[in-house]
Structure 1
Amino acid sequence: MEMKQLQYFVVSVDTGSISKAAEMLYTTQPHVSMTIGKMEKSLGVRLLRRSKKGVEMTVEGELVYEQARRILKDMQVIQQVQTSVKSEVFCLSSMPSNLLAGLFAEFYRREQNLQARYLEGTLEMVLHQVTHRRAELGFVFVSEFQKNAVDRMLEQRHLEFHILKETRLVLFAGPGNPYYDRKSVTKAELQKIRFVQNLEEGIPLFQHPGNLKEKLVDSQFFYRGVEVCSDHAMTQLLLKTDLGNISCLMDSRLHRDSRIHRIELEDCRVKVCCGYIKRAGRELGRCSRRYIEYVKEGLE
């Protein structure tokens, strides 16, 4: 039995007519009828009842029809394998980041015939997507506050973290903040203000109050502040209140508004690492390796 016989039979049933099937298959009605006849002869059963109104399946034809459709569908999947191999799909997951999203856009523009998938989410979501092979690479920001917890998660999920660049945290403040015109502030001075933090940022400070109390700010001051999930809300709160924001120097969205000042943290410098996550022992694809080199250049 040939695949063409299955195809001609299924199309004839779907259209309800051998002549319509011939039109769809770009052949002649006698050729379709002869091909199905050979199939019926090889099986030893009649599959179709022919009439002036068209064709309809016999009981045996109904059984063969379901199997034939399944075989044709499976064959289509098999035939697409070669195309999928030739056309590499680049799957990337990242924490929300203007910098990384911009680098991805530029990389996509430079590449030809690139099929890509760009996902965004929290640190936990990025880890999940790489672990379960929904993304080959995951780009994240990890602060000193998170290092021990992240190391444990990486080990449990058989993942590796490769650092590309280190930066630091700074204070962002609007006109209503008492430190607005300062070049820098001390850890003691940070205790005197309240904060607004974006829960979708790469450095979720709210989730690490113990470390904050020891290294940066007493946690009670964060809980007296505001949590947001919006860049617009963050900007408006900084411009119209006395709240401050602590964010990563390298990728803060607040750089775009000149009315918001960046203030250095004098005696509480906290390192933040930007890097990529991959599955341990897994060799990266050609496209992923090129992208990592491109990101390295972009971070310099």
Structure 2
Amino acid sequence: MEIKQLEYFLAVCERGSFNKAADCLYTTQPNVSKVINNLEQELGRELFKRTYKGIELTPYGKTICQYAEVVLKHVQLMQDIALPAKARKLSVATYRSDIISKIFVDFYNEFNGEIFIEHYQGSVEEITDNVKKGICEIGIVYVAQNQRKIFNHILYHKNLQFKVLSNNSICVYFGPKHKFYEKTSVDFDELADLQFIYGVKDSFALEHHMEKINIGFKGLELLNNAVYTNSDDTIINLLLNTDLCRLGINATEKKYERYNIRAVPINDSDNVLTLGYVYTENQELSPYAKWFIEKFKQTV
């Protein structure tokens, strides 16, 4: 059985005739009929009933149609993640981050563009899936300390390892229009009256970590979230031009520093977020992945 046979079969199913299927496949009606006949012979049953009114699927044909749709869908998925044959490449899955984007720029310049770069962004679930499936060599993630048990459960079932790079505190991003812009630090109990921008929804998203940390302030899940968005441009403009603020990781390199947006640390929030990378069990990392990890360590 060939993929071509299934493609022709589904074209006939969708168009309801051999002639219309031939038109969309840029071939002839006799050729379509020949392919379908060969498929029926291979399967040992009729897929279509031929009548004076045209054709219709047999009960068996309807079953094969469902199977063919699944097969071709997975073929498309395999084609979507296919890459040009390159012996040397860096493949990384990460959360959204300007810092990581800069590291890719440094990587490209370091290796003169000779190494193929493959980068996927997503949630922890998507990042670990990409590593498990072999699409990415490593995945960069952050995890709240009190979610490590859940995270370890995910790693166990996907046969992945996690290497800690740093433990970080959290901060609040303030723009120049915010009353706390000049502060050097804030307390948890000062956050209750502020208006926040709520980011990408994900069970491991930063805001969800914050809901569970509750260090020195109970009810952090009741923060006033005035805007929900997954757009970095929207977040930056809101921080610059309103009194809204946003939670973040207090990393060495400040995410919004170049926009005149300050990262103000939250007191007593040390070591609540763990940054690290996931990789396949017993895997020897490529020199390119090692270079990327070392560069990342310098920023966090």
TM-score with structure 2 length normalisation?
Answer: 0.62
The answer as to 2:116 corresponding to 1:104 is no
Structure 1 residues 214 and 131 mapped into 2: Cα distance closer, same or farther (>3 Å)? Answer: same
Distance, in Å, in 1 between the alignment partners of 2:239 and 2:211 is 25
Preserved contact between residue 170 and residue 269 of structure 2 (Cα < 8 Å): no
Q: Give 3-state SS (helix, strand or coil) of 2:223's partner.
A: helix
Aligned length: 216
TM-score with structure 1 length normalisation?
Answer: 0.62
Q: Give unpaired runs (5+ residues) of structure 1.
A: 1-82
The answer as to 2:140 corresponding to 1:139 is yes
Distance, in Å, in 2 between the alignment partners of 1:175 and 1:240 is 8
* One-letter code aligned to 1:278: Y
Structure 1 residues 264 and 299 mapped into 2: Cα distance closer, same or farther (>3 Å)? Answer: closer
Structure 1 residues 263 and 237 mapped into 2: Cα distance closer, same or farther (>3 Å)? Answer: same
Structure 1 residues 217 and 239 mapped into 2: Cα distance closer, same or farther (>3 Å)? Answer: farther
Structure 1 residues 278 and 264 mapped into 2: Cα distance closer, same or farther (>3 Å)? Answer: same
Distance, in Å, in 2 between the alignment partners of 1:223 and 1:145 is 23
Corresponding residue for 2:263? Answer: 262
Give matches, 1:1-300, under 5 Å.
87-111=87-111, 113-199=114-200, 204-208=205-209, 210-213=211-214, 218-222=219-223, 224-250=225-251, 252-258=254-260, 260-296=261-297, 298-299=298-299
Q: Give 3-state SS (helix, strand or coil) of 1:195's partner.
A: strand
Deviation at 1:131, TM superposition (A): 0.8
Distance, in Å, in 2 between the alignment partners of 1:205 and 1:292 is 21
Structure 1 residues 243 and 84 mapped into 2: Cα distance closer, same or farther (>3 Å)? Answer: closer
Q: Give unpaired runs (5+ residues) of structure 2.
A: 1-83
Deviation at 1:84, TM superposition (A): 5.1
Distance, in Å, in 2 between the alignment partners of 1:98 and 1:224 is 23
Deviation at 1:160, TM superposition (A): 0.9
Q: Give 3-state SS (helix, strand or coil) of 1:182's partner.
A: coil
* One-letter code aligned to 2:95: M
Distance, in Å, in 2 between the alignment partners of 1:194 and 1:175 is 15
Distance, in Å, in 1 between the alignment partners of 2:183 and 2:224 is 24
Deviations 1:2-23 (A, max 9, x none): xxxxxxxxxxxxxxxxxxxxxx
Structure 1 residues 204 and 123 mapped into 2: Cα distance closer, same or farther (>3 Å)? Answer: same
* One-letter code aligned to 1:222: L
Q: Greater CA radius of gyration, 1 or 2?
A: 1
Preserved contact between residue 169 and residue 247 of structure 1 (Cα < 8 Å): yes
Deviation at 1:214, TM superposition (A): 5.4
Structure 1 residues 277 and 242 mapped into 2: Cα distance closer, same or farther (>3 Å)? Answer: same
